[in-house]
């Protein structure tokens, strides 16, 4: 049969019993229509013509099932795939690729050099749509560096890698479902492309990008992954930054993990209900986070091990333990103009970390809004810290800058510095707190000046337990028990 444009429709098994024979007999633009049924292939298929290979339109979307017989010959050949496509353009549609054998559990730290694929796209502009891949002996779709495929409306399950986009390939993935793969989607070295509106469900790792890969991830749903939802590693600071925007990353162990100089832009994502952390940036990772909703995770954001990221205008809300946890020598970062609310602690900085915490709003925490414990040269400036159940700011054994903050209506102390040697506390407005406005314990060399300490329920400024501080021209008035009080073992200069 012929189509109006002159292309032929070749039927399997009506015209040819063998799919490869039908491909060999086809010419440019032909359609090979395969009737529903299971086809056990004794040799892998090679499609090297600009044709359409489609399942019967009258059958179910997975009515055509292709399986490669696993003979001793194919087992010894690492380049054997069920179907290899090497043509300037082609379409694969309404075909199910299926094969099952036992594979290793858990996400592998790096992809093996020799991978078996159900479908290997070697070159050309290839369209794969409405296909089903179910394979535990191999990866579902491999994309070589010379290929520019679009994969859409397909279902991929139980594969080692759902899609493996090899180095320097350009792959577009749209409206696919990836289920229970070891890694749903893997973009290798400098791979480009886009993943849009896909569902990645119950994989070990949802979407992984490494070695300066730079795809765009938009409007995907990544959920139920046992290790990490979106994983970015091994970046190059000079390379373009990948964009991760508008995704729902929920219910994973870790929502987003960035390390080894990975440096993406994350914008307008929803990162919720992840059991270990919403975002973890570690091992020299970086990134820019803008207008994301990071909520209801065990920890909202973790930055550690020399990482540094910029967070601007994000909503970090109701995370169980910490909104933002920054820890470790050489860990920096910028928190600017974020809303941090709820949880036990809003922002916690420890173990030599030295971020800048600027112009944020921190409220509704149960234990402490801003906790600095053995921090480096951190800066806490121009924040609004209010309506917290415990203390607003606790500083322990570190010399930090706390400047130009508004600290009010907290049930505990406004600022509590203990065990510190140095530190600058200037130009803060500390009012209407449920305990002391500022308390200094066992500390030396603090500089306290140009603050307004007013209408706190207990002392405006309390200095005790062998402390020695320098107090400039502060406004200290209308506090509950004393405006300024120090014990005999302490000194105010």
Residue 460 to residue 452: CA distance in whole angstroms: 9
pLDDT at res. 101: 52
Mean pLDDT by runs of 10 across the 493 residues of the chain is 78 96 96 94 93 83 81 54 94 89 43 71 96 82 93 95 93 98 94 97 97 94 98 82 96 97 95 98 96 98 96 98 97 97 98 97 98 96 98 97 98 98 97 98 96 98 95 97 94 90
Q: Which residues pair with 440 in a beta bridge?
A: 417, 463
Residues 6+ apart with CB under 8 A from 50: 28, 29, 87, 88, 89, 90
The model's pTM is 0.94
Angle, alpha carbons 359-362-364 (nearest 5°) = 165
Positive or negative torsion for Cα 187, 191, 195, 198:
negative
Residue 104 to residue 84: CA distance in whole angstroms: 25
Q: Which residues pair with 258 in a beta bridge?
A: 232, 281
As annotated, the residues of the chain forming the CATH 2.160.20.10 domain(s) are: 1-100+115-226
pLDDT at res. 432: 98
Residue 365 to residue 408: CA distance in whole angstroms: 13
Residue 270 to residue 292: CA distance in whole angstroms: 6
Residues 6+ apart with CB under 8 A from 55: 33, 34, 36, 61, 63, 64, 93, 94, 95, 96
CATH class held by domain 1-100+115-226: mainly beta
Instruction: Quote the DSSP letter at residue 2.
Output: B
State residue 145 phi and psi, 5-degree precision.
-65, -25
Residue 129 to residue 123: CA distance in whole angstroms: 17
Instruction: Quote the DSSP letter at residue 303.
Output: E
State residue 67 phi and psi, 5-degree precision.
-130, 135
Instruction: Give the other-Cβ count within 10 Å of 339's Cβ.
Output: 16
Kindly list the distances between the CA atom of residue 362 and the CA atoms of 143, 319, 339, 341, 417, in Å, as whole numbers in the listed order.
46, 13, 6, 6, 19
Candidates 278, 311, 269, 279; CA nearest to 297 is: 278
pLDDT at res. 414: 98
Residues 6+ apart with CB under 8 A from 291: 267, 268, 312, 313, 314
pLDDT at res. 235: 80
- Both tokens assigned to 349: 């900085």
| DSSP per residue, 402-464 | EES-EEES-SS-SEEEES-B--EEES-EEES-SS-SEEEES-EEEEEES-EEES-SS-SEEEE
45-47/64-68 β-pairing: unpaired
């Amino acid at each position: 049969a012929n189509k109006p444009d002159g292309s032929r429709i070749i039927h399997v098994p009506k015209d040819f019993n063998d799919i490869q024979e039908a491909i060999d007999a086809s010419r440019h633009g032909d359609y090979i229509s395969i009737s529903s049924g299971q086809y056990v292939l004794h040799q892998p298929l090679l499609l090297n013509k600009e044709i359409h290979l489609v399942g019967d339109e009258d059958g179910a979307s997975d009515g055509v099932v292709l399986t490669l017989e696993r003979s001793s010959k194919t087992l010894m050949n690492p380049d054997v795939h069920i179907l290899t496509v090497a043509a300037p353009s082609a379409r694969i549609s309404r075909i199910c690729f299926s094969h099952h054998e036992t594979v290793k559990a858990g996400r592998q730290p790096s992809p093996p050099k020799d991978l078996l694929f159900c479908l290997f796209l070697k070159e050309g502009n290839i369209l794969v749509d409405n296909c089903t891949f179910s394979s535990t002996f191999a990866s579902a779709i491999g994309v070589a560096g010379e290929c520019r495929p679009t994969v859409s409306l397909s279902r991929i399950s139980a594969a080692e890698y759902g899609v493996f986009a090899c180095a320097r390939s350009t792959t577009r993935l749209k409206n696919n479902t990836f289920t229970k793969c070891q890694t749903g989607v893997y973009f290798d070295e400098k791979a480009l492309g886009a993943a849009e509106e896909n569902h990645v469900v119950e994989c070990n790792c949802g979407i992984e990008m490494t070695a300066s890969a730079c795809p765009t991830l938009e409007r995907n749903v990544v959920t139920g992954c046992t290790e990490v939802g979106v994983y970015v590693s091994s970046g190059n600071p000079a390379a373009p930054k990948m964009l991760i925007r508008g995704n729902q990353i929920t219910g994973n162990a870790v929502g987003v993990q960035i390390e080894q100089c990975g440096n993406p832009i994350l914008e307008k994502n929803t990162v919720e209900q992840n059991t270990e952390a919403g975002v973890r940036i570690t091992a020299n990772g970086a990134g820019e986070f803008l207008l994301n909703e990071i909520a209801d995770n065990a920890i909202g954001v973790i930055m550690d091990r020399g990482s540094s990221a910029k967070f601007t205008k994000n909503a970090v809300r109701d995370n169980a333990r910490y909104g933002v946890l920054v820890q470790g020598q050489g860990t920096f970062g910028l928190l600017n103009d974020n809303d941090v609310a709820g949880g036990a602690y809003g922002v916690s900085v420890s173990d030599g970390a030295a971020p800048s915490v600027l112009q944020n709003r921190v409220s509704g925490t149960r234990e402490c809004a801003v906790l600095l414990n053995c921090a480096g040269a951190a800066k806490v400036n121009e924040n609004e810290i209010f309506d917290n159940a415990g203390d607003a700011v606790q500083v322990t054994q570190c010399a930090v800058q706390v400047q130009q903050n508004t600290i009010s209506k907290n049930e505990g102390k406004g600022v509590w510095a203990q065990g510190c040697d140095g530190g600058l506390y200037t130009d803060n407005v500390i009012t209407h707190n449920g305990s002391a406005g500022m308390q200094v314990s066992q500390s030396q060399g603090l500089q306290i000046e140009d603050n307004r300490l007013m209408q706190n329920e207990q002392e405006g400024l309390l200095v005790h337990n062998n402390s020695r501080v320098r107090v400039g021209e502060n406004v200290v008035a209308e506090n509950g028990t004393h405006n300024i009080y120090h014990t005999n073992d302490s000194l105010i200069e």
